[in-house]
Amino acid sequence: MATSRAPLRFVEAVSATVSEHRRSGFFFDFDGTIAPIMRDPAAVFPVAGAVERLRVLAGLVSRVAVVSARPAAFLSDRFAGAPEVRLFGLYGMQTVVDGRVRTDAAAQPWAPVMGRLVADAARELPGEVLVEDKALLVALHYRAVPSLRGAVERWASEKAAELGLREQYGRMVVELRPPVELDKGTVIERETETLTRAWYFGDDLSDGRAFDALRGREERDPAFLGVKVAVANGETGDELARRADFTVESPEATPDLLDHVIGAFPGHPSARTLDK
């Protein structure tokens, strides 16, 4: 039977994490969480201080990772200064191991299908739609013209049914990807198996699966603590925030919250009062 947990206080979550730091982990979405949302996806970089905070955390806890819809090679470039941070791209279809990108064997055969889909999208969708080719994932961005949402979603649904693909809706974007059993939730389930504390930071609908994974683990293991942090935005409503333990007002505020966590570790020079 599922059990409900009493509301979690930030100071308690941090204290519990510090006390079990060797079996704790921090996991982050990228866009909208530790990086801004922009019309040009290629122009996005982590917000000031984010990479440094993740690098410090990686020296304090068992595991720090970024779990994103971005290609793993893109993440590798953006986190070149923090090699200790694990990187999972394309919802876990790609990982970075020893500096090299590895692709899931079940997803790789779908590359030709996704390549044809890119060509179809460029030919059939309005020119204002940005078609982002991620090799094993095609993202259809309608941020420049929000009124095209219906047309993009209808087109994506038809293609998904025709080709046997999966749809993922997000912030002014629809993504199409192979029908493999990988998403942010499956990554979190696997990566937290040996942990007793795990934090996940996200801002979009796909991050709800990671939240579900943490909650499911708590229901199976009363000794496990999953901390869900939602980064607020006006594009996906408050659905994710309602399921979170804590909210952050913007990606730029995420490093500040991490400063409070880092500062709670004994002897750390940035220690500060947490109970606010």
For the annotated catalytic residues, the residue numbers are 29
Instruction: Give the 3-state secondary structure of residue 253.
Output: helix
Structure tokens at 160: 């998904």
Find all residues with CB under 8 Å of 135, minimum gap 6, and list them. 71, 111, 114, 115
The Cα 147–Cα 188 span in angstroms is 34
The Cα 171–Cα 37 span in angstroms is 9
Find all residues with CB under 8 Å of 112, minimum gap 6, and list them. none
The Cα 136–Cα 115 span in angstroms is 8
Parallel, antiparallel, or unpaired: how do β-strands 166-170 and 173-177 relate?
antiparallel
